[in-house]
Structures are given as structure tokens and as C-alpha cells.
Amino acid sequence: MQRSPVKTRFRFTFWVMITLVAFAVLQVFTFCSRTISCPAFSDAAFDTWLPYQQGQWLFFINSRQQKDSILIEVVERSAAEQIKTGFNGPRCHIYAYVRGKGNLLLNIDNQEAQTVSLALDDFNFSGGAMGDSGIRYVPEIGPYKTVYYYSHILEGRTFNNVELLEKDTMGLKGGDHIYRVYLSRENGIIAYERYPSHDLWIKQ
């Protein structure tokens, strides 16, 4: 029995189309799948303003000589690496973070040297990249403000290159909350203040 020339031609065209589509898909995946080099985390301003080391203790004392302490348990920075990317595959993740606990919990995150978040107990601040005057504040992120001082006096002590991170007290209900955190270049957190008591704790 002889095959129809039309059916034969149709089948041939069909398989040619399937082959071309498969080849095109393979080319797309091959093009998208490549090895890229991810750089190590590097942010000089972050290292200068928040120069913490694993195993470091931070002590803070108020006017009644009460003491709070934080042990820096983790300091991690992403290392340089090579990764294989592909369709919906991984991308470079460049980061640094600091974790500390004690009487207070401390969490600091830096993503891509573009955004920095700092959490000290119930105080949660998020901003943009760090610079010469500390963490750049992004107004739409939350009810905070920042002030930079070339020199600032706290309880008779003078600190240089200070950034104040301050939370709006309108939303603070019940209890005593941290609403001000002071950072100093090359010193990290130098003080914090609670509301409504206005109890000021200074790093020793």
C-alpha cells in the first residue's frame, strides 16, 4: 500500500519543526546557563561605622550604674565565589551581617552594600547605603529620622562623627522602648535612649 505524498510531506515538516524548536530551546538554556564571578563583600563605610568582631563584648551603663551587655556572636561577610546561573537560577548574593545577644539583642544586615538594617531589641531601623555620615535614611521605609553631628556630648563625654537614629514616639505604646540609637564612626553603637523614661545608656 502506497503512502500519501501529502501525509509524508506533513510528517517530515512536523519533525523538522520539532527539531528546530528543540534546538532553539537548547540554545536559550545554553546561553542563559553560564558561570559568573561574584565578588566578596566590600563596604569600607560599613566596616568603619560598625567595626564589630566576633567574641567582642559591648557594655552600656545608665546614670544609676545599671549595666546592659551584648556579646557579638556572629560576624559574617560573603566571600568571593563562582556560581552557575541559568533560567530562573541563582544570582550573586553579596552581604554582611552581625548578630549579638545578651541583655539586648542586636542584628545588623547589609545587602549588596546598598541597604542596611539595624535592630536593637524593639528598635528596628532600615536605610540605604552607608557613607561618611553613617546610614543614609530612606524616609518611605519607616517613622525615623537621622541627624549627623561632627561632635556630640552625651553625659559629659564628647564623641566625634556621630549619627543619631531616632524613632517617632507616636507609635510607642506601653513599656519602656528604645527610640534613639547613637552611632559613632570607628566605634559602632555608643549609646541608646529609652522612651518614655529618657533613660540614657552609654557604651563603656
pLDDT of residue 112: 87
Q: Are residues 22 and 99 in the same domain?
A: no
Q: Are residues 124 and 51 in the same domain?
A: yes
Q: Are residues 154 and 131 in the same domain?
A: yes
Q: Are residues 61 and 47 in the same domain?
A: yes
Closest CA to 189 of 89, 68, 84, 77: 68
- What percent of the chain is predicted at pLDDT more than 90? 65
Tens digit of pLDDT for each residue in 26-57? 454 445 567 889 999 999 999 999 999 999 99
Q: Are residues 17 and 49 in the same domain?
A: no
Tens digit of pLDDT for each residue in 110-149? 998 789 999 999 999 999 989 999 998 877 656 899 999 9
Higher pLDDT residue, 33 or 102? 102
Find the domain containing 25 and state its range. 5-34
Largest CA distance in the chain: 107
Closest CA to 190 of 65, 51, 64: 51
Q: Are residues 25 and 46 in the same domain?
A: no
Confidence category of residue 16, pLDDT binned at 50, 70, 90: low
Q: Are residues 111 and 18 in the same domain?
A: no
Judged against a pLDDT cut of 60, whether residue 169 lies above it is answered with yes
Judged against a pLDDT cut of 50, whether residue 67 lies above it is answered with yes
Q: Are residues 61 and 157 in the same domain?
A: yes
Q: What is the DSSP string of the chain?
A: -PPPHHHHHHHHHHHHHHHHHHHHHHHHHHHH-EEEEEPPP--HHHHHHS---TT-EEEEE-TT--EEEEEEEEEEEPPPEEEEE-TT------EEEEEEEESS-EEEEEETTTEEEEEETTEEEEEEEEETTEEEE-GGGSSEEEEEEEEEEETTEEEEEEEEEEE-GGG--SS-EEEEEEEETTTEEEEEEEETT--EEEE-
The partner residues of 150 in beta bridges, in order of sequence, read: none
Q: Are residues 97 and 48 in the same domain?
A: yes
Query: Into how many domains does the chain fold?
Result: 2
Q: Are residues 101 and 164 in the same domain?
A: yes
Q: Grid coordinates in use for 57?
A: 563584648
Tell how strand 200-203 and strand 95-102 pair up: unpaired
pLDDT of residue 114: 87
Q: Grid coordinates in use for 7?
A: 501525509
Q: Are residues 23 and 48 in the same domain?
A: no
Instruction: State the pTM of this model.
Output: 0.81
Q: Are residues 10 and 71 in the same domain?
A: no
